[in-house]
């Protein structure tokens, strides 16, 4: 089973408060209807790729809770509650706990030390990479590595490039041998066992693509990247991300995905 083989996904409908979501750079607020439409297109793409999608109700008290990947990490055998690095997101994991307990035999609480965001965690065929960032500190990364080790999963702590919000902002897994990476991460030796395909200049944000079964979801505002991937034989699905991009989001963060054990 490949790490991008999924048949289950959990998403959360964006609340109206999403327009006030966190962002590193102010590019104006997204519109609620715009985010809602992009989220709906995303859910449709997951379903078209063969994934059964369950939709959770919005949490108005947490503007960023639509990005359900950040407060948890899921595998077929267990879910791990994380500790997001932003103060305003600290309650999201607890709010998600009951939903995960309904779907996983084991739900593991994060150690009461450090911080870790799901956007900094990349599962590859050989190991789980944990990127240090403004949202994931070394204490949290090492604590998470310990939890992963208890599940029999190898983990490695790596550096996120300066100025990059999350590790997966700058990279995504295309197949069992290839990473899509933005220029700041290219050639840094982070992926010694994998090849690197670098996004074109000006399309760095396209690096946050999402491989789901036999398809690769890519932001539709990155046509050169989509063209490169299509030319290499990938089944590319362009999706709108202009609104969620205003609150520093991409395609990986809007779902928790797993293969039923």
- pLDDT tens-place string over residues 172-204: 999 999 999 999 999 999 999 999 999 999 999
pLDDT of residue 86: 95
CB 198 within 8 A of CB 223: no
Q: Do the domain assignments include residue 200?
A: yes
What does R_g of the chain's alpha carbons equal in angstroms? Answer: 17
Q: Do the Cβ atoms of 139 and 106 come closer than 8 Å?
A: no
The pLDDT assigned to 134 comes to: 94
CATH of the domain at 54: 3.75.10.10
For residue 43, give every residue at least 6 positions away whose Cβ sits within 8 Å of its Cβ, in sequence order, or none: 11, 53, 55
Whether residue 178 contacts residue 199, with contact meaning beta carbons closer than 8 Å, is answered with no
Two tokens, residue 181: 């990476």
DSSP helix/strand/coil, 195: strand
DSSP class of 75: E
What is residue 47's three-state secondary structure?
Answer: helix
| pLDDT attached to residue 183 | 96
Domain extent, residue 221, equals 8-258
Q: Could you report the per-residue pLDDT of 199-216, keeping only the tens digit for each? A: 999 999 999 999 999 999
Could you give the residue numbers annotated as active site?
166, 253
Please check whether residue 2 lies inside any domain of the structure: no
Assigned domain for 28 exists: yes
Half-sphere exposure (Cβ direction) of 245: Cα atoms closer than 13 Å: 16
pLDDT the model gives residue 102? 97
Given this model, what pLDDT does residue 261 score?
A: 61
Q: Please compute the mean of the pLDDT values over residues 131-138 and round it to a whole number.
A: 97
**108-141: buried (b, 16+ CB within 10 Å) or exposed (e) per residue?**
bebeeebbbbbbbbbbbeeebbbbbbbbbbeebb
Contact yes or no for 136/120 (Cβ under 8 A): yes
What does residue 159 show for φ and ψ, rounded to 5 degrees? -95, 135
Tokens 């197949």 correspond to 175
Structural domains in the chain (count): 1
Q: Is 248 helix (H, G, I), strand (E, B) or coil?
A: coil
Q: Give the C-alpha distances (Å, rounded to integers) separating 215 from 53, 148, 176, 193, 218.
A: 16, 27, 13, 22, 10
* Bridging pattern class, strands 210-212 and 215-219: antiparallel
Query: Is residue 26 over pLDDT 90?
Result: no
**Of the candidates 79, 57, 75, the residue with the CA atom closest to the CA atom of residue 66:** 57
pLDDT at 176: 96
Task: Report yes or no on 3 lying in a domain.
Answer: no
d(CA 30, CA 98): 30
pLDDT at residue number 24: 83
Per residue in 92-119, pLDDT tens? 999 999 999 999 999 999 988 899 999 9
Q: What's the mean pLDDT in 61-76?
A: 97
Percentage of the chain beyond pLDDT 70 is 99
Q: 172 pairs with which residues across the strands?
A: 180
The total number of residues written for the chain in this structure: 261
Q: Which pLDDT band, with edges at 50, 70 and 90, does 27 fall under? A: confident
Q: What is the pLDDT of residues 221-239, one digit of tens each?
A: 999 999 999 999 999 999 9
Residue 1 domain flag? no
């Amino acid at each position: 089973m490949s790490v991008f083989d999924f048949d289950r996904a959990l998403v959360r409908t964006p609340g109206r408060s999403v327009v006030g979501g966190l962002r590193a750079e102010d590019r104006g607020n997204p519109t609620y209807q715009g985010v809602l439409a992009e989220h709906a297109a995303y859910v449709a793409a997951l379903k078209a790729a063969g994934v059964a999608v369950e939709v959770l109700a919005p949490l108005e008290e947490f503007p960023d809770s639509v990005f359900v990947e950040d407060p948890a990490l899921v595998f077929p055998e267990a879910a791990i509650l994380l500790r997001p690095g932003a103060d305003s997101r600290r309650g999201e994991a607890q709010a998600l706990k009951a939903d995960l307990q309904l779907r996983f035999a084991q739900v593991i609480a994060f150690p009461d030390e450090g911080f870790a965001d799901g956007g900094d965690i990349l599962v590859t065929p050989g190991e789980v990479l944990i990127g240090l960032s403004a949202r994931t500190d070394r204490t949290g990364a090492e604590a998470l590595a310990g939890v992963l080790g208890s599940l029999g999963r190898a983990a490695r702590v790596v550096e996120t490039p300066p100025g990059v919000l999350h590790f997966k902002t700058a990279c995504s897994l295309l197949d069992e041998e290839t990473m899509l990476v933005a220029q700041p991460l290219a050639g840094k030796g982070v992926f010694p066992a994998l090849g690197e395909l670098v996004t074109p200049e000006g399309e760095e944000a396209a690096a946050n693509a999402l491989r789901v079964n036999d398809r690769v979801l890519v932001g539709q505002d990155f046509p050169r990247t989509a063209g490169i991937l299509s030319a290499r034989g990938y089944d590319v699905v362009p999706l709108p991300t202009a609104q969620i991009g205003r609150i520093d989001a991409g395609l990986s963060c809007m779902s928790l995905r797993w293969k039923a054990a």
